[in-house]
Structure 1
Amino acid sequence: MNLQPSHLIFAAGTVAYMVIRAAFQRHGASGAKAHSRADARDRLLIVIVGLCQMGLPALLLLTPWLDAANYTRPEALTWVGTVVMAGALWLFWRSHADLGASWSVTLELNQDHRLVTQGVYRRIRHPMYASFFAMAIGQALLLSNWIAGGAALLAISLLYIVRTPNEERMMLESFGDEYRDYMRRTGGILPRATTP
C-alpha cells in the first residue's frame, strides 16, 4: 500500500460518482412500473460492477493485498486519467440530468415513461454506459495495478454486452417505431459518423 496522487484523484472521482448517483437516485423513477426486466442476473451484474469499480480499488488503497499486481507507469498518465475521469463524471451527471424521472438503476420503465432523445441522448442511446467505460479507462490510468485498474473495464464490458440487448428490446416493445427510428439516428455508446 503506497498511496500516490493518482490514487487520491481516483478516490475523489469515486466520491463524486457516488454523490451524483445518490442525488439522482433520490429523485429517480418511483411510479408504477409498466415494464421490468430486472432479474437476479441483472442485479448480480450490478454487484460485480460495483465490486470492480469500488471494492478492488478500496483493497488496493487500504491494504497491501493487491501490491503484487502493481506496475510503474509514466506520471503523465495521471493527467490523462484525471481528464478522462472528469469527462466521465460530466457525462454521468448529464446522462442522469437528461433522463430525469425516466432513470432507474435496474431495467424497468414507469407507466408514464417517456423516450428521452435530447441532450446527450440526441447522438447516443447509452451515454451512461459510455460514462462507465470512460470511468473504467480513467480507473485503469489512475491506478497502476493490473487487478484494481483493469477489472472495471472487464466488468463494464460484461454489463454492456449482457444488459444492452434486453434494454433495447424493452424500449422497442414500449416505444416501437419511435425507438426504431431513434436507433437508426444514433450510436450505442459513440455517436454515428453519419446519420441517415
Structure 2
Amino acid sequence: MNRFALCYFLLCVSSAATAQDKEVQAIRTRYQETAKKVQLLEQDPQNAALYVHRISLNDKGTPWPAVGNYKKTIKFYFELGDEQVHTLVRIDITSESAAHQYATEYLFDAKGQLVFCYDRMPDGQSPENNIEVRYYFSGDKPIRRTEGKTISDKPSPEQQPQAKRLQSDAAELQSLFKAIDK
C-alpha cells in the first residue's frame, strides 16, 4: 500500500510540474510573439499590429539636484480591437538615475491579467552589474521566479513582497493607461 501511495504522490507532483511548465512555456511564447510585434512597430509603424502610447519624464534630461541624470520612459503597447477597444498587451519602463539603468516589462494576457514581469536593476556594487528577475504569474499567483540562472517554482516568503509590488505596480500602470487612453 505504501508503494502505491508513493507512486500516486509522485505522479501527482509530476503532472502538476508538467502543467506549470506548459503554462510557463505558453507565457514565453506570448512574450516572444509580442516582442516581434513591438519590433515591427518600431521598424514599420504603418504595418504594425500594435499601437503605443509613450510617457516621458524629464524628457530633456535636465540634471536633478542631488541625483544628476534622471529620465524615465513608459511605453504602453496595445491592440486595437472591435469597436475601437484598446487591449493593453505590454508595458515597458526604462529609467536612468545617476549612473544606474533600470528596466521593467509587464506582459498581459488577452483578459488583461499580468502573466509575466521582467525587472532589471543595479546590484548596488557597480553600474555595469545588474540583477535580472523574472516572474511568471497564473491568476494572481506567482508560479515561477528566476534570478540569473536560479529558478524557483514557488517563490520564497522573502520573495513574495517583490512579486506583490510588481503586481501592484502593474495594476497602477493599467489604471494610468485607462486614464490616458480615453
Q: Structure 2-normalised TM-score? A: 0.34
Higher relative contact order (CA 8 A, sep 6+): 1
**Larger strand proportion of the pair:** 2
TM-score by length of 1: 0.32
Structure with greater proportional helix content:
1
